[in-house]
Structures are given as structure tokens and as C-alpha cells.
Amino acid sequence: MPTCAHIDALESLKAPRAHLCEECVKSKSSWVHLRTCQQCGTTLCCDSSPNKHASAHAGATQHPVIASAEPGEQWLYCYPDDAFAEY
């Protein structure tokens, strides 16, 4: 499956530290799905969530790749390349 240089460069996957959006808990917001940044390990909420913290984090930090933090989902997504990979 063709991916991108960012995903290809990952040697190990970062698991969520806790099953919650680390930004939403600060503002007592809710979320739909969770994603874990593969650069720094922060777990944040998806684009279906009201605050879209994972996208905001990727844009603000230039951390390109997230993994789904949902149980049973095993995929990666790269924001700058719009690349998706299952593992």
C-alpha cells in the first residue's frame, strides 16, 4: 500500500496515554473519536468532534502523523500528505 515518507519513517507506534482528549478534558468538552499524535504521543479528538483538536495540533505543531486511538482500529493518517495506512 503506498503511504508517505512520514509514515514509512515510523519505527514504533505511540499508544494513547489515556483514552481521552487531553485538550477537551481541560475545557470540559466532549469528543467523538480519539487520535494519537505519533510525534509526541498526545491523544486528541478527531474531525467529527466539535473541537477538532487533532487537526489543530497537527497544524500548530507540524506533527504530521496520527494513529487512531479507538479500540479495534489500526490505522495511521498523515495530514500534509493526506495519506492513510492500515497496520
What residues make contact with Zn ion under the rule CB under 5 A? Answer: 4, 6, 21, 23-24, 31, 37, 39-40, 42, 45, 51, 53, 63-64, 78, 81
Distance CA 38, CA 61 (A): 12
Least separation in angstroms between residue 75's CB and Zn ion is 14
Contact 31, 55 (CB under 8 A): no
- Residue 18 per-residue DSSP state: S
Q: Kindly list the distances between the CA atom of residue 34 and the CA atoms of 5, 8, 9, in Å, as whole numbers in the listed order.
A: 23, 22, 22
In the complex with Zn ion, the residue whose CB is nearer, 24 or 67, is 24
Least separation in angstroms between residue 19's CB and Zn ion is 13
β-bridge partners, 83: 78
In the complex with Zn ion, the residue whose CB is nearer, 26 or 72, is 26
Least separation in angstroms between residue 11's CB and Zn ion is 15
